[in-house]
């Protein structure tokens, strides 16, 4: 996968990407991606919550991420079941809404994942609890921000992140790199990944949202993805910024204007 950086041959790249898509865009190739955890939730609100947690702890090896996400979601469900004697199997959001701060600190007091501590996790969970109580869903929150910004996705996402920060009822705050904002120039890879999972619906992405179309999505970009897009000739930079995200997405729209992230999954696989 090495294409000229001088002249971008979109037709040639499209053939390559479509071949990769045909071979590997199948559910059997998901594991150990944390998406395999997200896809187990049939209810759209439960899936949305699970996807947000999975996306924002998506750092490091895929198998470690999946284990961590499953531990978080299971921990919430088990604690709520012990507290209420109700069955919360496959209902982590419903379980979260039955818990308080003391319950969460008790459940996750030993939690550590990479540079995130139990305080980061509990602060995030309390914030999400507040958001779901006020808005009903993260989709509803983003929908309001899209209306406020007349459909400008990046501005809406900046307001979305600010709303999460403002909704934090805890005296603790999470580290800034847990949920970065586009307004600070961040590529916001995990936020873009969350949107991909919730907006696209096919053999890989489970979908569940209707406020955005696949055409509106922006590429989830990290250092691994940068290498793929450099090989395609889309960029020469190694800077993982929102500016690079927009550049790469614009190139992808030359190939799949209605679904620029169609090939995101296969390009993130080691065989691409």
Residue 46: partners with Cβ closer than 8 Å, 6 or more residues away? 90, 91, 92, 93, 94
- End-to-end, the C-alpha distance of the chain in Å comes to 8
Per-residue pLDDT tens listing for the chain (272 residues): 666 556 899 999 999 999 999 999 999 999 999 999 999 999 999 999 999 999 999 998 999 999 999 999 999 999 999 999 999 999 999 999 999 999 999 999 999 999 899 999 999 999 999 999 999 999 999 999 999 999 899 999 999 999 999 999 988 888 989 999 999 999 999 999 999 999 999 999 999 999 999 999 999 999 889 999 999 999 999 999 999 999 999 999 999 999 999 999 999 876 54
| d(C-alpha 111, C-alpha 19), whole Å | 42
60: left (phi over 0), alpha (psi -120 to 50) or beta: left
pTM for this predicted structure = 0.95
Phi, psi at residue 198, to the nearest 5°? -90, -20
- 13 neighbors 255 (Cβ within 8 angstroms): yes
The secondary structure of 75-137, three-state, reads HHHHHHHHHHCCCCCCCHHHHHCCCCHHHHHHHHCCCEECCEEHHHHHHHHHHHHHHHHHHCC
Distance CA 250, CA 235 (A): 11
- φ, ψ of residue 52 to 5 degrees: the values are -65, -45
The tokens for 4 are: 């000229």
**CA gap 211, 143 in Å, rounded:** 6
Q: At CB < 8 A and 24+ separation, what contacts does 121-124 make? A: 121/72, 121/174, 122/170, 122/172, 123/168, 123/170, 123/172, 123/173, 123/174, 124/56, 124/174, 124/178, 124/179
- Partners of residue 206 on adjacent β-strands: 201
SS3 assignment, position 185: coil
How distant, in Å, are the alpha carbons of 76, 220, 223, 244, 246 from that of 240?
33, 10, 7, 6, 11
Which has the closest alpha carbon to 200: 270, 126, 258? 258
């Amino acid at each position: 996968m090495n294409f000229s950086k001088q002249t971008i041959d979109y037709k040639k790249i499209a053939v390559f990407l479509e071949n990769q898509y045909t071979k590997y865009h199948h559910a059997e190739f998901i594991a150990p991606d944390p998406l395999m955890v997200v896809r187990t939730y049939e209810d759209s609100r439960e899936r949305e919550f699970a996807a947000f947690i999975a996306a924002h702890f998506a750092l490091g090896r895929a198998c470690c991420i999946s284990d961590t996400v499953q531990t978080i979601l299971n921990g919430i469900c088990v604690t709520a079941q012990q507290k209420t004697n109700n069955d919360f199997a496959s209902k982590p959001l419903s379980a979260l809404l039955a818990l308080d701060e003391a319950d969460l600190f008790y459940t996750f007091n030993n939690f550590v994942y990479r540079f995130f501590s139990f305080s980061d996790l509990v602060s995030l969970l309390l914030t999400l609890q507040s958001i779901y109580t006020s808005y009903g869903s993260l989709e509803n929150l983003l929908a309001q921000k899209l209306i406020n910004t007349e459909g400008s996705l990046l501005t809406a996402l900046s307001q979305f992140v600010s709303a999460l920060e403002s909704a934090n009822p805890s005296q603790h705050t999470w580290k800034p790199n847990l949920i970065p904002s586009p307004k600070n120039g961040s590529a916001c890879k995990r936020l873009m990944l969350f949107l991909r999972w919730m907006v696209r619906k096919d053999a890989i992405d489970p979908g569940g949202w209707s406020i955005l179309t696949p055409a509106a999505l922006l590429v989830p970009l990290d250092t691994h993805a940068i290498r793929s897009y450099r090989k395609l000739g889309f960029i020469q930079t190694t800077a993982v910024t929102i500016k690079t995200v927009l550049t790469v997405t614009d190139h992808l729209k030359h190939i799949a204007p209605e679904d620029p992230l169609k090939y995101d999954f296969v390009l993130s696989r080691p065989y691409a």
